[in-house]
């Protein structure tokens, strides 16, 4: 049985739904300068000026002006919590001004108050791929130590302002996703970096991640001072890595992959780098700018819980020309012959969720919070306006079953479950609107046309009953 106070809800990120990209004095974030892409074309970075290009995040689904209506619908589904992020550029338009922007702070006050009126607890990510573009232009994002102070200051302002409204926080969304530093699909890494031709990307990635981890730890320390009741977590993109076969070489490759993708969580939880990463960096001749003070900060800012997203699992195969098992995601990943994929090629693997929860809990013995899970799909609106999405229900049902099994049979401590994109929004990966996750349909297409009208899909009623029965009726 799930706990009585289990936090059922839904998850989104500011830049993927708010729109209002210049309302209330908001500055420009990295999301605002990315054009739309699709499954075949990566998103491009331009200066964000409207020159006939489609910038889907500029308007997104206009949650900025529709939040009351949307939160009312979440309340109708019985949400106990709502996970969103605070757009850094609403609070500090250029990332690091002397004074925060009052209009931005006020927006989140009103939005959180609306949630609280319905008994919905806000769960807040401080940085969800929303770095101020000004900091990218000035410092190259988290290439620079300067961004540590900027992030810590932003966090402190948010903690102080919302200390009586928000209890659950997360610092950086999917901090470990930058481990796929050779991913040509991500124009910016989530630390706001655009790689330059010919540079040692791996070294750049580790350095930026280090600065982010220091920034996160310092924010955790300050947050707990502001309100000792805060629960501040990390946020990890959980993708279990299976060996292709029982060949010990495949096993070693999978182990190497797990280490390269999940060492970030070791630092967040234990406050220090694991030996395997320090040795690996030395073997690659990567010397990090890591001061004694940084090490102290890391020790004093360990997280309270592990937030994680779960969409899919990976499979890797060893190669003869890679005897040291150096993990290059693009090279060693292979398809899993036992598993079906979504229309976007993501492996659907509910057992992998149970596997992941066990792995995380065994390793860290901290409460877990599933803060993203779901399947992007095309939806069709019928003539009568109804939207039948049995595939979404099926996906979520199987994952919730696996999650419950893990709590009941394996004893994992789980705080809550917030499926991704509870209302349709802009895809982070591709910029599409038509890669939909929601229980609530939003009338808008990939070209940006549509009335923005909200409609309930079949999954809306289904999820409502899931919540009402605390996961017993699936």
Rule CB under 6 A: which residues touch ligand BGP?
A: 13, 173-174, 237, 309, 372, 376, 420, 427-430, 435
Q: Residue 320 or 330: which CB sits closer to ligand BGP?
A: 330
Nearest Cα to 418, choosing from 115, 57, 56? 115
Nearer to ligand BGP (CB atom), residue 372 or residue 389: 372
Q: Write the CA distances from 2 to 5, 81, 87, 199, 399, integer angstroms.
A: 8, 15, 32, 48, 14
372 a catalytic residue: yes
DSSP state of 196: P
Q: Closer to ligand BGP by CB, 83 or 153: give it.
A: 83
The minimum distance between CB 13 and ligand BGP, in angstroms, equals 5
C-alpha 374/C-alpha 396 separation (Å) is 7
Closest alpha carbon to 422 in 371, 357, 363, 366: 371
Closest CB to ligand BGP among residues 108, 420: 420
H/E stretch holding 454? strand 454-456
Measured from the CB of residue 437, what is the shortest distance to ligand BGP in angstroms?
Answer: 7
Helix (H, G, I), strand (E, B) or coil at 371: strand
- From residue 410, how far is each of 213, 403, 407, 416 by CA, in Å? 30, 10, 6, 16
Q: Shortest Cβ distance from residue 128 to ligand BGP (Å)?
A: 6
**Would you state the structure tokens that stand for residue 142, as one six-digit string?**
């988290």
Report the residue number whose CB is nearest to ligand BGP: 429
Q: Which member of 372, 394, 461, 472 is catalytic?
A: 372
DSSP for 374-415, please give it: ---B---B-TTS-B--HHHHHHHHHHHHHHHHHHHHH---EE
CB of 339 to ligand BGP, least distance (A): 18
| Choice between 210 and 435, CB closer to ligand BGP | 435
**Tokens encoding 58:** 């500029």
Least CB distance from residue 377 to ligand BGP, whole Å? 10
- Catalytic positions are 372
């Amino acid at each position: 049985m799930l706990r009585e106070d289990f936090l059922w809800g839904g998850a989104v990120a500011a830049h993927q739904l708010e729109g209002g990209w210049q309302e209330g004095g908001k500055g420009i974030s990295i999301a605002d300068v990315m054009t739309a892409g699709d499954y075949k074309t990566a998103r491009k970075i331009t200066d964000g000026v409207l020159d006939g290009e489609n910038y889907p995040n500029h308007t997104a689904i206009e949650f900025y002006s529709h939040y009351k209506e949307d939160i009312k619908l979440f309340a109708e589904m019985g949400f106990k919590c709502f996970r969103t992020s605070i757009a850094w550029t609403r609070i500090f338009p250029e990332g690091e001004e002397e004074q925060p922007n009052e209009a931005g702070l006020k927006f989140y006050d009103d939005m959180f108050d609306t949630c609280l009126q319905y008994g919905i607890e806000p769960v807040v990510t401080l940085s969800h791929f929303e770095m101020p573009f000004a900091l990218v232009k000035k410092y190259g994002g988290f290439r620079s130590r300067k961004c540590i102070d900027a992030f810590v200051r932003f966090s402190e302002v948010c903690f102080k302002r919302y200390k009586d409204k928000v209890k659950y926080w997360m610092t950086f969304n999917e901090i470990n996703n930058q481990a796929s530093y050779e991913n040509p699909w991500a124009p910016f890494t989530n630390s706001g970096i655009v790689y330059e031709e010919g540079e040692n990307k791996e070294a750049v990635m580790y350095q930026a991640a280090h600065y982010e981890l220091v920034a996160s730890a310092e924010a955790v320390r300050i947050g707990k001072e502001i309100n000792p009741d805060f629960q501040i977590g990390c946020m990890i993109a959980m993708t279990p890595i299976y060996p292709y076969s029982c060949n010990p070489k495949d096993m070693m490759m999978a182990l190497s992959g797990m280490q390269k993708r999940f060492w970030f969580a070791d630092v967040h939880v234990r406050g220090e780098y694991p030996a395997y990463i320090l040795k690996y960096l030395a073997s690659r001749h990567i010397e990090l700018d890591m001061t004694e003070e940084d090490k102290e900060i890391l020790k004093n800012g360990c997280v309270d819980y592990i937030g994680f997203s779960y969409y899919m699992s990976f499979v890797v195969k060893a190669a003869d020309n890679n005897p040291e098992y150096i993990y290059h995601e693009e090279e060693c990943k292979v398809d899993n012959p036992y598993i079906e994929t979504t229309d976007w090629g993501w492996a659907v693997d509910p057992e992998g969720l149970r596997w992941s929860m066990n792995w995380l809990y065994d390793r860290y013995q901290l409460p877990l919070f599933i803060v993203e899970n779901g399947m992007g799909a095309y939806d069709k609106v019928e003539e009568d306006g109804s939207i039948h999405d049995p595939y979404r229900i099926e996906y979520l049902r199987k994952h919730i079953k696996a999650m419950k099994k893990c709590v009941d049979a394996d004893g994992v401590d789980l705080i809550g479950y917030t499926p991704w994109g509870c209302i349709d929004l802009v895809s982070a990966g591709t910029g599409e609107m038509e890669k939909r996750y929601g229980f609530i349909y939003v009338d808008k297409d990939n070209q940006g046309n549509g009335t923005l009208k909200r409609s309930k899909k079949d999954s809306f009623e289904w999820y409502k009953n899931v919540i009402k029965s605390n996961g017993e009726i699936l």
